[in-house]
Amino acid sequence: MDDIARLAGVSKPTVSRALQDSPLVSDETKRKILEIARRHGYVVNRNAQNLRRRRSDTIAVVIDFPHLPENRLSDPFHFELLGNIANALSVRQQDVLLCSSLSAQAGGFEHLLSNKGVDGIIFMGQSGHHEEFRALAKAGVPFVVCGAHLEDANYCVVGSDNMLGGRLVAQHFSSLKRKRAMFLGPHGHIEIGQRHQGFAEEWGAAVEDLEVPDLSFIGARDAMRTRLDSGKPAPDALFAGSDTMALGALAALREHGVDVPTTCNVCGYDDSPLALHHSPALTTVRQDTRIAGAILVERLMQSMQGTSAPSILLPTDLIVRAT
Amino acid sequence: MDDIARLAGVSKPTVSRALQDSPLVSDETKRKILEIARRHGYVVNRNAQNLRRRRSDTIAVVIDFPHLPENRLSDPFHFELLGNIANALSVRQQDVLLCSSLSAQAGGFEHLLSNKGVDGIIFMGQSGHHEEFRALAKAGVPFVVCGAHLEDANYCVVGSDNMLGGRLVAQHFSSLKRKRAMFLGPHGHIEIGQRHQGFAEEWGAAVEDLEVPDLSFIGARDAMRTRLDSGKPAPDALFAGSDTMALGALAALREHGVDVPTTCNVCGYDDSPLALHHSPALTTVRQDTRIAGAILVERLMQSMQGTSAPSILLPTDLIVRAT
DNA sequence: GCTCGTTTTGAAATCGATTGCAAAGCCTGT
DNA sequence: ACAGGCTTTGCAATCGATTTCAAAACGAGC
């Protein structure tokens, strides 16, 4: 910057101001400085700028990447959401620092800001850190969580209405005059638990609960196989916690000659491409990641300005397709 | 840091050294300082550190995010790769700054380093920037590209062997005694073009080329519908440029009563979950994103040390399933 | 007790910007 | 010609670390 200043015959502060388009610099001077800077390919050093400004215009997005290697991340859902968050942030001139949940946790979430040099954090999913989040909020760290709404959350959560999603599916099955409802999903996953709960409440009658070990296609297929082999009467309405699991269960049903949708209806969750591209196309519950991303970012900005950002429950839609 | 120094009764440099586990500090002092720092929740300010060290231990990963909103990103492939890159980088204590291709291009790729304060760049896909990349390489910017191998690339490319993938599929179809081969994919996409080329070369006889407008399920389905409606004899071996497109074509084939795999074989590309979870399970060509991620990172580190990093063509596998 | 080589420590400079404050330059009105 | 108000500019301090280099402390050997 000193060089540019010399070349333009002005001082460093003037160059700095010109580059920020400050009104303190005359248009004449500004134009000259910008021209020289451009010609010499000068750009401000981001690290120096960050240090002095005590702000980096960078947001950490924390994802539970560990899943990946094993699970071959089942749902494109997260990627889509990530993309939408990135877009929403770039509109606000903010950069995205991607952190795996693990590396973020290393120094403790509360030091993430100065440790990674970011201004705020977006957590994708609680994944069991609820208590840490509560502490973070108390410490005044600006962050938002994209995940499940919990009773005692004192931090901002943006999440889709899992209960509503479950209820919509139950209503749908009811309108089809189905009788023997089953829910399929792993226990211990908060959001999926809420889907289950909404479903069961709305359904009223007994809902058979088929537990699966994880979120995978295989897990769901095998669990369903075992269940069908048992000889007990098969369900005529199946709600799976995710599209991937729905497809797994569907495979098992097909093997056993249970026709979908005549004999049994199946509904997934997420509206991932899997659902759309499958044949028959899967009936599912959709969450709008575009809106979610935009709101997450908006709320984060709020909480970075010190305003408290309220949580929000986003509506979900039932997408009725062929199953 | 001054505060910690005061509390420990030492000077700032000593604290700095202790935190870096420098051998210049006695174990005794080191322990005391670390203890005090921990108790007071002190972490070094990343921006200041970066400034002084002239290095940020952060890598920019540039993705063509614009696709997202429209296409609902068809293949989880990119996400998987991103995850694996992130993992490989975190092993080396490097952070990931996610950039959309657009925002990265704003200041010109050549200023990405100081502009975003990163030490190196990984580009996911060339997406038409080949010439810019050539210039970047000349300018000595440390970066690697995950994409297609091009004749006159003077930069490091890590990419899977698309030609080989195409050849494997041709061999497979030959061994099944198929006669009328068809390739389906958009024109103008470099990597898919290479798949097509490898396929055609190995096949020997004429390959019908069915062009589709984009990478989408719908595009492929509609193109295939039109083709089948035309009345010309249907192909008995179809190779699609991606799994998503294969599934689209498969849907059209089914509509027209063409049985897969008896009457016609179908093969996709990517081995995305789509392929595995579809029924019948899709035969496809697999690229190992785990290895790709690891090598990308390794090569980038090389080129950051000034060593020139050679390009590499990763092998691909044919995964024969039910189609 | 003194010298010499080692280990530890600290003073001061530095990384590359931004910003508060004072001064300079320029008008305008009298 | 000069006071007074505005617009521009520059000096110097600052952000929070790291690193060079010189000095202090320590031990060993004679």
H or E, element range at B211: strand B207-211
pLDDT exceeds 60 at position B115: yes
Residues A223-250: tens digit of each pLDDT: 999 999 998 999 999 999 999 899 999 9
Distance CA B147, CA B135 (A): 17
3-state secondary structure B82-93: HHHHHHHHHHCC
Averaged pLDDT score across all residues of chain A = 91
Asked if residues B261 and B323 have their Cβ atoms less than 8 Å apart, the reply is: yes
A136 touches strand D (CB under 7 A): no
pLDDT exceeds 50 at position A70: no
Distance CA A135, CA A265 (A): 44
pLDDT band at B317 (very low <50, low <70, confident <90, very high): very high
* % of chain A exceeding 90 in pLDDT: 73
pLDDT exceeds 80 at position A71: no
For A256, A312, B205, the CA distances from B307, given in Å and listed in that order, are 59, 51, 44
> Quick one: average pLDDT of B17-35?
93
A83 vs A178, higher pLDDT = A178
A64 vs A83, higher pLDDT = A83
The type of residue at B25 is: V
> Quick one: average pLDDT of A107-133?
89
A49 touches strand D (CB under 7 A): no
Residues A35-69: tens digit of each pLDDT: 999 999 999 999 999 999 999 999 999 987 654 44
pLDDT band at A73 (very low <50, low <70, confident <90, very high): very low
* Residues ≥6 apart with Cβ < 8 Å to A130: A150, A153
Instruction: Give the model's pLDDT for residue B71.
Output: 45
Interface check for B284 against chain A (CB to CB < 8 A): the answer is: no
Distance between B149 CA and the closest CA of chain A, angstroms: 26
> Quick one: average pLDDT of B259-271?
92
> Quick one: average pLDDT of B20-25?
92
φ, ψ for residue B212, nearest 5 deg: -125, 155
Would you call B274 and A273 a contact, using CB atoms and an 8 Å cutoff?
yes
Note the pTM of the prediction, 2 decimals: 0.91
> Quick one: average pLDDT of B172-196?
94
Interface check for A72 against chain B (CB to CB < 8 A): the answer is: yes
> Quick one: average pLDDT of A298-305?
95
- Checking DSSP bridges between strand A284-286 and strand A317-319, what pairing results, if any? antiparallel
How many CB atoms within 10 Å of residue A70? 9
pLDDT exceeds 90 at position B229: yes
Distance CA B59, CA A97 (A): 10
Count the residues in chain A: 323
* % of chain B exceeding 90 in pLDDT: 74
Distance between B108 CA and the closest CA of chain A, angstroms: 10
H or E, element range at A95: strand A95-100
Q: Choose, out of B81, B98, B244, B289, the residue to mutate when testing the contact with A (most A CBs < 10 Å).
A: B98
pLDDT band at B287 (very low <50, low <70, confident <90, very high): confident
Chain A window 6-25: residues with CB closer than 7 Å to nucleic chain D are 9-14, 17, 23-25
pLDDT exceeds 70 at position B75: no
- Range name among B29-43, B63-77, B84-98, B259-273 with the lowest pLDDT average: B63-77
Tell me which residue in A51, A73, A86 faces B79 most closely, judged by beta carbons: A73
B12 touches strand D (CB under 7 A): yes
Would you call A79 and B78 a contact, using CB atoms and an 8 Å cutoff?
yes
* % of chain B exceeding 70 in pLDDT: 96
pLDDT exceeds 90 at position B83: no
pLDDT exceeds 80 at position B103: no
Instruction: Give the model's pLDDT for residue A75.
Output: 63
Instruction: Give the model's pLDDT for residue A69.
Output: 42
How many CB atoms within 10 Å of residue B61? 24
Instruction: Give the model's pLDDT for residue B277.
Output: 84
Distance between B68 CA and the closest CA of chain A, angstroms: 7
